[in-house]
């Protein structure tokens, strides 16, 4: 043994930002402005929180829930639990009461930290969570006088008040659990993914690489992706390690507020799902005032693939690089990432090629293995044509689900992701539709994602969602739900003609429904399951089949 075998525990890296940049800020949006807090204060407060949790009997391995927006107290909860060895269960605030009851009960959270404005959502369940010993209420301005029917509730500030500001992290194994996050499964109960210190430590280093998200100590990061979703894509950890200024939108998720926050705080890097970026594009397009986002250089876009028109708009209008990433709760989450200029051959690439790079899911992160397979687990060629099931393995990939191993989701140590895609000759992963999102018409497949990306590129279209509807002869036919801007002149005929520019006639949707909004999943993706359910509930019938 020639080298020290220092355990890769998060406390070794996440307290560094406050050491090297103690005055760097964490800015949280409030009803009438922002709250500011330094890194040194954040670490002191997180140490107080760790002591308070210990006083309440929370021990290494115990689950501490958060039911919170992105804000400085959520960051403190990340820090405190990581330093003390508790397991942070980031509860998705958008889940249904049934799912909430299930996952909190499955995780057996001993204590839950709740944003005061979210209390009503948990109060519905208060008598069904007897194992939760304590609720700690985080009150943003305007909510200081919270009241709740939840038992043993205490104000966050009272809870940590008077606790020591220094905390010595206990020795932990690097395989110790760090976090717990449930996937919003499409079938069956949600499944828990347990993050470990070592895995997240490696993930943190990796996303800070120049060729990944390129985070730097000099960045101002606006994490829009919820911190309850796959550890906020790991960004809170990397920011804590580097001391990046963090700008957190809390519950203020309107495009207008987000843009204002990014302008005011001179954000350089942000992260969110495509619908966020569509919304911000829509706001800027309609804004009559100039919007100064000149400091913003790149936005990471994940959850689902952004349309090419969106990637191009951000580059051409704002000179902002949209970095597409692919991953999932089970992959910590970063699997692949697509930079505009990712290879030497791109240095003199054409504008079109560089946009095209951003429309792929990207290149695999170092240390992971990823490939596409047929149904018998034979590897498929990397020719950009062959589409197969995506399997991935490596040091930050889930090996089993929490208290529910699900061996059928794994194959010889590989995670079967449920996503399908191709890999091109440049080794780029390109995600295809999940099989349940393909439209099967007359024995042929129609890609709903391709149709959506094409439709949303039309002037005046803000969102588009294509789902399959049953048809006695063709099996299924595509139907498009579309949200248009207030002054849009898009109608059904124009939209279908637009589709014919790229698609065969039989691939064009049979019907176009102009709607006010499209339901999104708790992670901001188009919720096609809900769309299909609503159409069924409304008794929707394809035009051709109506009497």
Tokens at residue 87, please? Answer: 């397991």
Shortest reach from residue 346's CB to a copy of itself, in Å:
7
Check: CB of residue 48 under 8 Å from CB of residue 136: no
Check: CB of residue 419 under 8 Å from CB of residue 411: no
Smaller CB distance to a copy of itself: residue 45 or 198? 198
- Catalytic site residue from 90, 183, 204, 417: 183
Q: Pinpoint the alpha helices (H) of 436-519.
A: 448-456, 492-500
| Contact positions vs a copy of itself (CB under 8 A) | 1-6, 8, 12-13, 16, 19-21, 23-24, 175, 177, 193-196, 198-199, 201-202, 205-206, 208-211, 214-218, 241-243, 245, 332, 341-347, 363-364, 366-367, 369, 393-402, 413, 426-427
Shortest reach from residue 344's CB to a copy of itself, in Å:
6
SS3 301: strand
Check: CB of residue 299 under 8 Å from CB of residue 221: no
Smaller CB distance to a copy of itself: residue 344 or 546? 344
* Residue 440 designated active-site: yes
* Residue 191 designated active-site: no
Q: Directed axis angle between helix 72-84 and helix 39-55, to 10°?
A: 60
Check: CB of residue 244 under 8 Å from CB of residue 215: yes
Check: CB of residue 458 under 8 Å from CB of residue 416: no
Shortest reach from residue 85's CB to a copy of itself, in Å:
15
Kindly list the distances between the CA atom of residue 40 and the CA atoms of 272, 366, 369, in Å, as whole numbers in the listed order. Answer: 27, 33, 38
Shortest reach from residue 174's CB to a copy of itself, in Å:
9
C-alpha–C-alpha distance, residues 259 and 45, integer Å? 29
- Catalytic site residue from 330, 452, 462, 476: 330
**201 closest CA partner among 337, 332, 327:** 332
- Catalytic site residue from 440, 525, 529, 534: 440
Smaller CB distance to a copy of itself: residue 175 or 287? 175
Shortest reach from residue 395's CB to a copy of itself, in Å:
4
Q: Pinpoint the alpha helices (H) of 252-344.
A: 255-264, 274-286, 308-318
Shortest reach from residue 393's CB to a copy of itself, in Å:
6
Q: How many CB atoms lie within 10 A of CB 123?
A: 14
Smaller CB distance to a copy of itself: residue 280 or 296? 296
* Residue 360 designated active-site: no
- Report the sign of the C-alpha dihedral through residues 392, 393, 396, 400, in that order: positive
Smaller CB distance to a copy of itself: residue 85 or 394? 394
Smaller CB distance to a copy of itself: residue 164 or 367? 367
Write the CB contacts of 467 (distance below 8 Å, at least 6 apart in sequence): 439, 448, 478, 479, 481, 528, 531, 532, 535
- Catalytic site residue from 146, 315, 445, 474: 445
**333 closest CA partner among 442, 148, 503, 200:** 200
Check: CB of residue 272 under 8 Å from CB of residue 301: yes
C-alpha–C-alpha distance, residues 410 and 415, integer Å? 5
Shortest reach from residue 208's CB to a copy of itself, in Å:
5
Smaller CB distance to a copy of itself: residue 96 or 218? 218
* Residue 330 designated active-site: yes
Residues noted as catalytic: 183, 330, 440, 445
């Amino acid at each position: 043994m020639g080298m020290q075998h220092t355990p890769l525990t998060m406390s070794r890296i996440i307290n560094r930002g406050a050491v090297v940049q103690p005055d760097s800020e964490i800015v949280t949006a409030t009803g009438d402005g922002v709250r500011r807090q330094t890194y040194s204060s954040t670490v002191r407060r997180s140490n107080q929180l760790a002591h308070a949790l210990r006083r309440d009997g929370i021990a290494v391995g115990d689950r501490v829930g958060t039911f919170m927006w992105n804000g400085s107290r959520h960051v403190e909860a990340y820090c405190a639990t990581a330093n003390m060895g508790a397991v942070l269960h980031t509860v998705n605030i958008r889940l249904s009461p049934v799912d909430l009851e299930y996952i909190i009960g499955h995780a057996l959270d001993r204590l839950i930290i709740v944003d005061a404005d979210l209390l009503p959502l948990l109060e519905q369940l208060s008598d069904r969570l007897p194992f939760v010993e304590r609720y700690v209420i985080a009150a943003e301005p305007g909510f200081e006088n919270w009241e709740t029917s939840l038992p043993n509730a205490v104000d966050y500030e009272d809870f940590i008040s008077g606790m020591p500001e220094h905390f010595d992290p206990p020795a932990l194994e690097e395989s110790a659990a760090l976090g717990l996050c449930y996937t919003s499964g499409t079938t069956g109960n949600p499944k828990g993914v347990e993050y470990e210190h070592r895995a997240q430590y490696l993930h943190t280093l990796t996303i800070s690489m120049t060729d990944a998200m390129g985070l730097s100590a000099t960045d101002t990061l606006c994490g829009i992706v919820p911190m309850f979703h796959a550890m906020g894509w790991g960004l809170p950890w990397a920011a804590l390690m580097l001391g990046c200024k963090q700008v957190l939108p809390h519950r203020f998720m309107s495009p207008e507020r987000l843009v204002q926050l990014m302008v005011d705080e001179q954000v350089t890097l942000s992260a969110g799902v495509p619908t966020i970026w569509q919304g911000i594009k829509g706001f800027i397009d309609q804004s009559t005032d100039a919007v100064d986002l000149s400091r913003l250089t790149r936005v990471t876009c994940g959850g689902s693939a952004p349309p090419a028109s969106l990637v191009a708009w951000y580059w051409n209008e704002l000179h902002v690089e949209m970095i597409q990433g692919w991953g999932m709760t089970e992959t910590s989450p970063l699997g692949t990432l697509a930079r505009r200029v990712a290879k030497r051959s791109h240095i003199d690439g054409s504008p079109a090629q560089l946009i095209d790079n951003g429309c792929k899911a990207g290149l695999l992160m170092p240390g992971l293995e990823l490939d596409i397979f047929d149904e018998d687990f034979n590897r498929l060629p990397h020719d950009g044509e062959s589409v197969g099931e995506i399997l991935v393995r490596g040091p930050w990939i889930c090996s089993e689900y929490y208290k529910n191993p699900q061996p059928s989701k794994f194959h010889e140590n590989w995670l079967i992701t449920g996503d399908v895609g191709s890999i091109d000759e440049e080794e780029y992963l390109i995600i295809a539709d999940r099989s349940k999102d393909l439209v099967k018409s007359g024995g042929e497949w129609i890609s709903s994602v391709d149709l959506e990306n094409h439709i949303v590129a039309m002037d005046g279209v803000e969102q588009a969602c294509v789902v399959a509807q049953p048809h006695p002869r063709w099996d299924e036919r595509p139907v498009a739900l579309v949200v248009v801007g207030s002054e849009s002149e898009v109608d059904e005929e124009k939209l279908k003609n637009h589709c014919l520019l790229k698609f065969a006639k039989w691939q064009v949707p049979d019907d176009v429904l102009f709607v006010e909004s499209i339901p999104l999943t708790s992670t901001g993706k188009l919720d096609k399951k809900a769309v299909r359910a609503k159409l069924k509930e409304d008794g929707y019938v394809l035009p051709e089949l109506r009497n």
